[in-house]
Amino acid sequence: MAKITRSIDQIIFRHSPMSFIALEDGGMFGIITEIGGKQDTSVDKNILLKKVKQYVKKWEEDSEDRVLGFSSDEINDETVIAIKPEENIKWDFLPNSLFQCSNDSCKVVINSYDQFFKGRCHNCSSKLKQFRYVWYHPCGVIRAFQPIPDTFCNNHGKEFLYLNDTGRFKSSTWRCLKCQHESSLRMLPCPNVLCRKKSADKRNFFLQGAVWSDPWVYFSQVATFVNLKDDQIKPILNSEIKDQLLISAYLGTIKAGQGNLRNKASTNNANIICTNCGASVPGNSKFCLQCGTKVVNIPKEIKIDIGKDILLDPLSDDSDLAIFAAVRDLEMTLSFKDEKNKYTDAQNNIEKAATSELIMASLNKIGIDDIYLISDFPLTHIAYGYTRFQSKPPSWLRAFPPISQTDTKVPVYTNCVTTEAWMVQLSAKHTMEWLIENKILKTTNIKVEKLTESDAKLWLLELLNKESESEDEIKIQTVINELIHSSSHTLLYSLAIESGLDIASFGEILLHKALSFIVYGGESDVGGLSASFQQGLGSLIDSIKNDLRSCKFDPSCSEDDDGACVGCLYIPRGCVEFNEKLSRSYIFGGKTTRSGLTNIPYGYLDFKNR
């Protein structure tokens, strides 16, 4: 066992335990066996456990309980530990004793335990190289790829066997170099009993062959969440006017950034005087600490008059609306709408004010209400397990092994970073008009033309935050969710082009219930999103409207793949939905089977510009 150095970001996304790794010297490869580290105390433990539980539970539901090493019912502080990995990782050879002649006209496979092993090829004396094939199974099992015991040549035994690679393991054979005797590879059964019990089709019992570096041999399963500090969110969530504060942020009636929302909360939470004993009582208290008398606080219910009352259900601490409000309130958050108003009101930079007005009008035409630049975006990546064969169910999700033989807790590897991000909020009125134009939303009781943007936001807020049993409402919720996701990928694609940054360094967080999404860059990309926000929004809008209108795989993509494939909307990493629930039809119009639809006549970007 030896050590090699990789960055924490590489460990989280590519080189977590049980993955393969190329070694710089000698063209060798190995399997990562151990990653050391210390408990990460900088991460919000409660949200981390909630997220891991959420992802594991969803995997259980989508894969018929194909999960090994942990259970969603048992994920808690006693069973899971957050580890910040060290950059030195331990690895071992796999296979550790199997080699192949480097001479392409020979290619004899040799085991170091064979009696004819001499350190070089015993047939042609050429140098040896590590055999690059492995057996693997979707349940996570990995084995060295070699001839099974009863595979041999009747004349020469195993001494001159080589892999006759046809490009497909089903037709490849073991062939004797001397006499051309051939034997099939003889597929090996998976040794995992639980796996075999889950497989109704016996053809799924067997291991599959692959080159160690094939991308489907290993997928690190990574979750991402906003890692807000207590002082960045608790003053808002503990306030007696929490709902009002959150909705004010959602409506944009409080200026973004600089902790303005927290300041409002603190002002509201100022001490009040007990009417019974005269003692000073904290503003968020329900009873006097001295005499126990109930004190009068501001009611939590919020009622907005847009033709009917809206009563919001209780909001959890990590709800979309809470995250939206807290991120919007971070010290270094800038709202493009606020910046535009600042230039317009100041009247000391006429050119900047005119440019901002034009960009704001262009954003409104494509259904964007506001874009926020977050220069101090707190993010946590969690590697919570791994899969083989596929990055999504029905492959088996496996937990990482404990970090030591004496430890019983399941490790999840974390990386807390501060980076740049954009938070984009769609226009609620534009969204409602688009739904009506495409006959997805019925207009019987809604006069959208009379609604302000705030009215429309509140109408959608109520719809998106309730658990409806109405098929029509569920359909609208699904369409909006997938519109937001497709919009996120469309922006990511254009942002990568316009900023010059690698799209693989970007990621997303979807805040469906706040009609918003967040796109963020990697730690090394700091400055790129700021530059695009400050100087490149105009060209970015043009890019968004045109870049993905067609796909290089059209017409197949549009007609057979619902308008989403590797040639357009798929991103290489960072997608929270495994590149599913996407379609260019939402953005540009066209055929789709998404959400029970058959066709979207008018795309979200186009219907006001046709």
For 267-310, give the DSSP string.
HHTS-EE-TTT--EE-TT-SB-TTT--B-----S-----SSS--
Collapsing DSSP states into helix, strand and coil, what is residue 20?
Answer: strand
Sign of the torsion angle spanned by Cα atoms 555, 556, 558, 559: positive
Sole residue written with tokens 């990386």: 415
190: left (phi over 0), alpha (psi -120 to 50) or beta: beta
Q: What is the pLDDT of residue 199?
A: 75
Peptide bond into 411 cis (omega under 30): no
Peptide bond into 95 cis (omega under 30): yes
**Biggest alpha carbon distance in the chain?**
104
Q: Note the Cα 151 to chain centre separation in Å.
A: 45
Q: How far apart are CA 438 and CA 426, in angstroms?
A: 17
3-state secondary structure 199-221: CCCHHHHECEEEECCCHHHCEEE
Mean pLDDT of the chain: 86
Dihedral pair phi/psi, residue 233, rounded to 5°: -130, -30
Q: With bands split at pLDDT 50, 70 and 90, how would you rate the model's confidence at 300?
A: very low
Listed residue (121, 542, 113) closest to 358, CA to CA: 542
Q: With bands split at pLDDT 50, 70 and 90, how would you rate the model's confidence at 112?
A: confident
Sole residue written with tokens 């099974």: 148
- For residue 79, pLDDT beyond 90: yes
3-state secondary structure 216-244: HHCEEEEEEEECCCHHHHHHHHCCCCHHH
Q: Which amino acid is at 375?
A: S
Q: Does pTM surpass 0.85?
A: no
Q: Give the pLDDT confidence of 539-570 residue by residue, as tens digits.
A: 888 889 888 999 999 999 998 888 999 999 99
Which percentage of the chain shows pLDDT scores above 90? 44
Mean pLDDT value across residues 334-344: 83
Asked if residues 364 and 427 have their Cβ atoms less than 8 Å apart, the reply is: yes
Collapsing DSSP states into helix, strand and coil, what is residue 36?
Answer: strand
The token pair that represents 540 in the structure block: 């970015």
Q: Give the pLDDT confidence of 7-53 residue by residue, as tens digits.
A: 898 899 999 999 998 876 666 788 999 898 999 998 988 889 999 99
Dihedral pair phi/psi, residue 581, rounded to 5°: 60, 50
Start-end of H helices in 308-439: 320-328, 336-346, 350-365, 428-437
| Residue with the larger pLDDT of the pair 277 and 456 | 456
Sole residue written with tokens 């939470």: 269
Q: Which is it for strands 590-591 and 599-600: parallel, antiparallel or unpaired? A: antiparallel
Total count of residues recorded for the chain:
610
Q: How far apart are CA 82 and CA 399, in angstroms?
A: 13
Peptide bond into 601 cis (omega under 30): no
Q: With bands split at pLDDT 50, 70 and 90, how would you rate the model's confidence at 344?
A: low
Q: What is the pLDDT of residue 137?
A: 92
Q: What is the pLDDT of residue 309?
A: 47
The DSSP line for 430-492 is HHHHHHHHTTSS--TT--GGG--HHHHHHHHHHHHTS----HHHHHHHHHHHHHHHHHHHHHH
Asked if residues 517 and 484 have their Cβ atoms less than 8 Å apart, the reply is: yes
Collapsing DSSP states into helix, strand and coil, what is residue 587?
Answer: helix
Dihedral pair phi/psi, residue 341, rounded to 5°: -65, -35
Q: Give the pLDDT confidence of 56-66 residue by residue, as tens digits.
A: 999 999 999 99
Q: Which is it for strands 507-511 and 410-426: parallel, antiparallel or unpaired? A: unpaired
Q: How far apart are CA 373 and CA 379, in angstroms?
A: 15
The token pair that represents 581 in the structure block: 């629930």
135: which strand partners? 143, 209
Q: What is the DSSP letter of 141?
A: -
Asked if residues 9 and 522 have their Cβ atoms less than 8 Å apart, the reply is: yes
- For residue 214, pLDDT beyond 60: yes
